Amino acid sequence: MKKGVHLLINGMVQGVGFRYYVHRSARRHLLTGWVKNLEDGTVEVTAEGDEEELRLFIKDMEKGSRFSTVQNVKVEWQSFSNQFRSFEITT
């Protein structure tokens, strides 16, 4: 089943290539959406795709990259909107 998810990721997740880690993971899980840094130091993600792939993607986000330290991932499930064609890094 197709679903959407909105994530807010806290920790040492800016200045360590974390958005590129998110991008690679999203593409590996065949997800669409975007990732961006927020001014408060968190990273925001909106992703859509197969629900099981989204769950695996969330596990990747909780683990983080080897250069990041993830303290918390706030997960908000959403309905599938089919509004994205790819996964992008935005500013």
Catalytic site residue from 10, 27, 37, 72: 37
Known catalytic residue at 28: no
When computed from its CA atoms, the radius of gyration of the chain, rounded to whole angstroms, is: 12
Known catalytic residue at 37: yes
Q: Say which residues have a Cβ less than 8 Å from residue 25's Cβ, sequence separation at least 6.
A: 57, 60, 61
Catalytic site residue from 19, 24, 55, 72: 19
List C-alpha distances in Å: 17 to 2, 13, 46, 50, 77. Answer: 28, 8, 18, 25, 25
CA pair distance 88, 20, nearest whole angstrom: 10
Residues designated as active site: 19, 37
